[in-house]
Structure formats: structure tokens, C-alpha cells
Amino acid sequence: LSVNPQIQTVADAGERALIERIRVRAGQPSRWITTGIGDDAAVMTMNRGEVVVATADSLVEDVHFRRSWTAPRAIGQKAVAVNFSDLAAMGAAPRAVLLSLMLPPDTPLADFDAMVDGVVAECEAHGASLAGGNITSSPRVLAIDVTALGGVHPRRTLTRSGGRPGDELYLTGSIGAAATGLALLEGSVDRGTLADDLADCLRRYEAPIAHVRCGRSVAGNRAANACMDLSDGLADAARQMAQASRTGVVLEGKQLPIHAAARAWSERSGADPVASALIGGEDYELLFAVPAKRRRGFLAAVKRAQVETTRIGSLTADSRMRWVRGDDSFELPGGYAHFG
Ligand SMILES: [Mg+2]
């Protein structure tokens, strides 16, 4: 039942009309989608010699976002971007997206349209097609679940387990901004009065950029031994990569590319900017392990993708997971984990 009879809801429209709205908004699918939205399942052709790389991730209201904080279009966009970030970390090119929406009946139709537009825009930005999915009603919270399918030549695949002791660790972009953006939202910040650098933190939280071109460029040149994206923070990514590669890891606290506004924000709240940046999640940067002899090829590959990278540490032969600052050495903190 709609609270305000003036606002058209998804319940008013009904499932079939909603699917038709998605089909119209998704537009013409790419040539490799031979059967798209509207049939029982989608059919797609892969390029010769490519394997399928598949990943899924969901955003759940009140766990990952608040409808009162974030515009529906941004929610749709982010739901796809976080999946493309995983494809990027594998060196794969996004090809198709399956979208599963769980909608409270009172969801305004305009919000539904905007969310789908966000999904389609992110797909288009990376040359992928929205190829199918599902819609179901949800008693209370809105959830958006995305399955992303990508293609890559099997010998060009990047994994997190290929690292070797002595590999240099490189990180794209900067860290800490997304966590600062979330803190701003939690503090009910007024968007209209935000300074530019803090507005950038908010944007980094709400509209992360998947480094698809960078992941593909490095993978295509076989310029790294391992790669992982930073969904749950740098400390978590470094730990997981080291664990999968059966190495230890050391990060240089002074080298970390901490976003300037995030650093200032931490200092103002009495926190250690490095410690905050290590645990801050959702930056969706890429962490690469690069053997010294591939360093030049790696730097050329990221430059072609027009992405900044910083050398932040190394994988080690001993099994310790640590970060250092001067002569001080600290255990790497754990990352965010669902269910504790
Ligand atoms: Mg990941």
C-alpha cells in the first residue's frame, strides 16, 4: 500500500511493467549478447580463446547504503562498479551484467528508474550490457544484487595467489577517502556546505571508479604476479594476497598514498592517519605484486591506463604481516568482515 497516493510505486506498476522499463532503459545489447532481457535466460558468445570470469556482489539497504543518504542512481551505479572492480582485479573485460532487485512495494517508480539508469550507465561506461536478471518484492529493505561476467584470455588472468617473496607492491590512486565519505554521511553532513576535498571523499564513497583499464593493461602485458582490489581496505587486501601467495608482507607507512582530506580528517579526530587508511574500506583501488624485473613494463602499463600508482611495500619470504614506520613495526590490522 502506498502511503502517498500521489507517488507511483513499483507495486502500482507490477513485475512485467518493471521488466519492460528495464528493457527499454538498457537499450540495444552488445553484439555478443545473442539473447538478452525478456527470455528465460540470457545467451552470450565469448571472444575466441577467452574464458569467463564471473563475480557477484550485493548492496543491501541499511548494511551498505541508506536510501535517505544516497541517490538511487548512485546506488545502481555503485552496485555495478564494485563488481567491475573485481573483474578488473582479475584482468578481465566486463561483458555482461545480471541484475537482481529486491524491492519493498512502496519503492517509488522514479527511484526504480533512476537505479536502473545508474546500472546501465556503469555498464555502458565499461562496454558491458545489462543482459538479464530478476525482480522480487522484499518486505522491508531494498537490495540490489549484481552478477558481472567478464572475458579474458586464460594466460592473461591475474589472481591474488601469484605473488612471490621480493615482489614490489604497488597501489593505484589513494586510500582513506571512501571511509571519510562514509564518516561524513554518518555525521549527517550538509552536502551544500562541503569543501571540495571532502565532497571528493563523498564521491569516492558513493561513486567508486573501477580501474578496469588499468587491470586489463597490466594483465595484458603480464606485468604483475598478483592483483587484488581493495573492497575491505588495504590491510585486508595485503593480508589476503600474502596469505594466498604463501608469503609475508611489509607495508611502508610513510609511502601510503593517503587522500589529503582523509589525512586531515583523521588528524582532526585524533586518529593515526596511517592506521585509519589501512582499515578504511571501499576505496576500490588495485593492489599489484610486481617482480622487480617487470617493474618497467608494469609502470608503462599503468601509465597507458592513465592511472597513478605508488610503491607501498613488498611481499616477503618470512610469514609476518606488518607495516613499518621508521624503526617501528606493527601487525597489520584485520579488515571489515560480515558476521564479525
Ligand atoms: Mg575483490
Distance CA 71, CA 67 (A): 7
Q: State the residue for C-alpha cell 613494463.
A: 297
E strand or H helix that includes residue 44: strand 43-44
Residue 229 CA to ligand 1 centre (angstroms): 5
Place 5 in a pLDDT band, splitting at 50, 70 and 90.
low
pLDDT of residue 334: 80
> What's the gap in Å between 232 CA and the centre of ligand 1?
8
Query: What's the pLDDT at 314?
Result: 98
On the 0-12 / 13-18 / 19+ scale of CB atoms within 10 A, 140 is exposed
Average pLDDT of 202-213? 95
| CB neighbour burial string for 66-99, b if at least 16 within 10 angstroms, e if fewer | ebebbebbbbbbbbbbbbbbbbbbbbbbbbbbbb
Q: What are the residues whose beta carbons fall under 8 Å from the beta carbon of 302, sequence distance 6 or more?
A: 170, 172, 214, 217, 218, 308, 309
pLDDT at 335: 59
Q: What is the pLDDT of residues 76-105, one digit of tens each?
A: 999 999 999 999 999 999 999 999 999 999
- By CB atoms closer than 10 A (0-12, 13-18, 19+), residue 338 is exposed
Distance (angstroms) between ligand 1 centre and the Cα of 85 equals 7
Average pLDDT, the chain: 94
Residues 6+ apart with CB under 8 A from 268: none
Banded pLDDT at 193 (limits 50, 70, 90): confident
**340 pLDDT higher than 60:** no
pLDDT at residue 68 in the model = 86
* Listed ranges 60-74, 180-194, 309-323; the one with the highest mean pLDDT: 309-323
Query: What would the pLDDT profile of 135-161 be if each residue is shown by its tens digit?
Result: 999 999 999 999 999 999 999 999 999
pLDDT confidence band for 336 (50 / 70 / 90): low
At position 278, the amino acid (one-letter code) is L
For residue 194, pLDDT over 90 is answered with no
pLDDT reported for residue 4: 64
Q: Which three cell numbers stand for residue 283?
A: 576505496
Query: Around ion ligand 1, which residues have CB less than 5 A away?
Result: 86, 229, 231
In angstroms, what is the span from residue 265 Cα to ligand 1's centroid? Answer: 26
Per-residue pLDDT at 69 = 87
pLDDT in tens, 41-52: 999 999 999 999
State in Å: Cα 84 to ligand 1 middle. 9
How much is the average pLDDT of 115-120?
Answer: 98
- Angstrom CA distances, 120 to 37, 57, 103, 211, 292, stand at 13, 16, 18, 18, 40
Distance (angstroms) between ligand 1 centre and the Cα of 241 equals: 11
Task: Report the alpha-carbon distance of residue 204 to residue 176 in Å, rounded.
Answer: 9
Give residue 337's pLDDT: 63
Confidence of residue 228 (pLDDT cuts 50, 70, 90): very high
Q: 147, 98 in Cβ contact below 8 A? A: yes
235 C-alpha to ligand 1 centroid (Å)? 13
